[in-house]
Amino acid sequence: MKCAANEYEPAQFVLRSDEKLDGVSVELSDLTSEGKAARISSSLMQWNFVGYVPVARNTTESECGAHKDIPKGELLRVAPFDCPDPLLEDSLIALQPGASQPVWVTVFVPKGTPAGTYRGGSR
């Protein structure tokens, strides 16, 4: 992700497993510049699991003011489907086998933060 100082920048990543995992959470680390002279604290970052909204049927043009169904070729996705949308407040989630679980992350880069490449730690 690229971001300027005094700016919020969102990003998204996805968790996936071949087996069910209960109690999955996310831990963000400080971001450190390549020379390790500058740091962006993890306290300036926020994350949320992304929830899904079930869509049972597609909207018709009559619901939008016209009087015919929207051609299937113009639909992004044909219902039924689950649409990723809400940011959940849950800090733990069960990851189902083969399912994708998006995580939304927002980072604030404070004013005066030196330009450069920053990396987070890993366990």
pTM of the predicted protein model: 0.81
Q: Are 104 and 48 in contact (CB under 8 A)?
A: yes
Which pair of tokens denotes residue 14?
């996805």
- The domain segmentation of the chain, as residue ranges, is 7-113
Q: Are 9 and 1 in contact (CB under 8 A)?
A: yes
Written as tens digits, the pLDDT of the chain (123 aa) is 899 999 999 999 999 999 999 999 999 999 999 988 899 999 999 999 999 999 998 877 666 665 567 777 888 888 899 999 999 999 999 999 999 999 999 999 999 999 999 999 865
Q: Rounded distance, CA 47 to CA 53, Å?
A: 19
Q: What is the dihedral of CA 17, 27, 11, 51, to 10 degrees?
A: 60
Q: What is the pLDDT of residue 41?
A: 97
By residue count, the chain amounts to 123
